Amino acid sequence: MLMELPAKISLETLTPEMVAKTIDHALLRPEMTIDEVIEGCRLCAKYQVASVCVKSCDVLIAAKQLQGTGVDVGTVIGFPHGNTSTKVKVFEALQAIDDGAVELDMVLNIAHLKSGLYNEVREEIQLIVDAAKARLPNCCIKVIFECSLLTDEEKVMACKLSEEAGADYVKTSTGFSTGGATIADLKLMRASTDPKKTRVKASGRIRTLDYLIECLQAGADRIGVSVTPAIIDDMRARKAALA
């Protein structure tokens, strides 16, 4: 679910419910136990975020926990380096959908992009998009760039290729590399895509309400975080203070 945000984004114009519906809550740490995943899903239902993003092995668990809550289940494809083969990524995407995922955050082939193999990069994204939407028409596909490893020219090209391939979102990073979401990258990604076709997701090292709002102001539509309670509770406290 995409929450419609006010034309002018600020603490004053946003509500806690609006902020919650911009959040994809990440449960992706490799050491995270099943009990922690279940507890994370319960937290997502409590705070009514847009979605939970879990490891592919946890999709079945998350789908069961979140059934009927209004919180979507997402997972990652080719995570975190993007260097598995296209056939494997397609299989992983379809298996995730069969397990209950409705949002897929796929890592593009970073090495192929940096090698100038643009047709291959576009084709891989399109194959995943086409296969996923054939299986589940409303499936949401986000393409992760890992911006900290790319030049600005490569980021612009990644935006172009993702949009041409039919992706729903372009996304800054996995959160597991050398950097996270920056305001400069978000502005560049927003300027390099058609807002009527492609949305922008900020992810990686977003830990405060203030920075989340900055990301929204820079053009992000979704925000990947793992500290949802701290952000939403802060929002509620500040709104109460303003009342």
Token pair for 195: 């807002």
**From CA 237, how far away is CA 227, in angstroms rounded?**
16
Token pair for 165: 């391939």
How do residues 140-173 score in pLDDT, each as one tens digit? 999 999 999 999 999 999 999 999 999 999 999 9
pLDDT band at 243 (very low <50, low <70, confident <90, very high): confident
Measure Cα distances from 60 to 34, 46, 63, 103, 157 in Å.
11, 19, 5, 14, 35
CATH of the domain at 186: 3.20.20.70
Please count the structural domains in the chain.
1
In a domain, 101, yes or no: yes
In a domain, 9, yes or no: no
pLDDT band at 1 (very low <50, low <70, confident <90, very high): low
Measure Cα distances from 67 to 24, 55, 177, 224, 236 in Å.
16, 17, 32, 21, 26
Look up the pTM and report it.
Answer: 0.97
Q: Does 1 or 171 have the greater pLDDT score? A: 171
- Length, in residues, of the chain: 243
Catalytic residue among 160, 171, 196, 197: 171
- For residue 175, give the DSSP letter: S
Catalytic residue among 21, 89, 142, 201: 201
The answer to whether residue 142 is catalytic is no
Percentage with pLDDT > 70 across the chain: 99
In a domain, 5, yes or no: no
SS (H, E, C) 29-85: CCCCCHHHHHHHHHHHHHHCCCEEEECHHHHHHHHHHHCCCCCEEEEEECCCCCCCC
Domain holding 102, by residue range, is 16-242
The mean pLDDT value for 56-75 works out to: 98
The mean pLDDT value for 86-91 works out to: 98
In a domain, 158, yes or no: yes
Which pLDDT score is estimated for 102? 98
**From CA 222, how far away is CA 240, in angstroms rounded?**
24
**From CA 113, how far away is CA 134, in angstroms rounded?**
26
pLDDT of 209 above 80: yes
How do residues 37-46 score in pLDDT, each as one tens digit? 999 999 999 9
Sign of CA dihedral 80, 84, 88, 90: positive
In a domain, 11, yes or no: no
pLDDT of 226 above 70: yes
Neighbours of 194 (CB within 10 A): 8
In a domain, 3, yes or no: no
The answer to whether residue 201 is catalytic is yes
In a domain, 2, yes or no: no
The mean pLDDT value for 212-235 works out to: 98
Which pLDDT score is estimated for 165? 98
**From CA 45, how far away is CA 67, in angstroms rounded?**
10
pLDDT of 2 above 80: no
Which pLDDT score is estimated for 4? 84
How do residues 107-119 score in pLDDT, each as one tens digit? 999 999 999 999 9
In a domain, 185, yes or no: yes
Which pLDDT score is estimated for 175? 96
- Do 93 and 131 form a contact (C-beta atoms < 8 A)? yes
| Least reliable range by pLDDT among 1-15, 53-67, 79-93, 164-178 | 1-15
The mean pLDDT value for 13-34 works out to: 98
Residue 231 CA neighbour count, 13 Å, CB half: 33
| Least reliable range by pLDDT among 1-15, 54-68, 141-155, 226-240 | 1-15
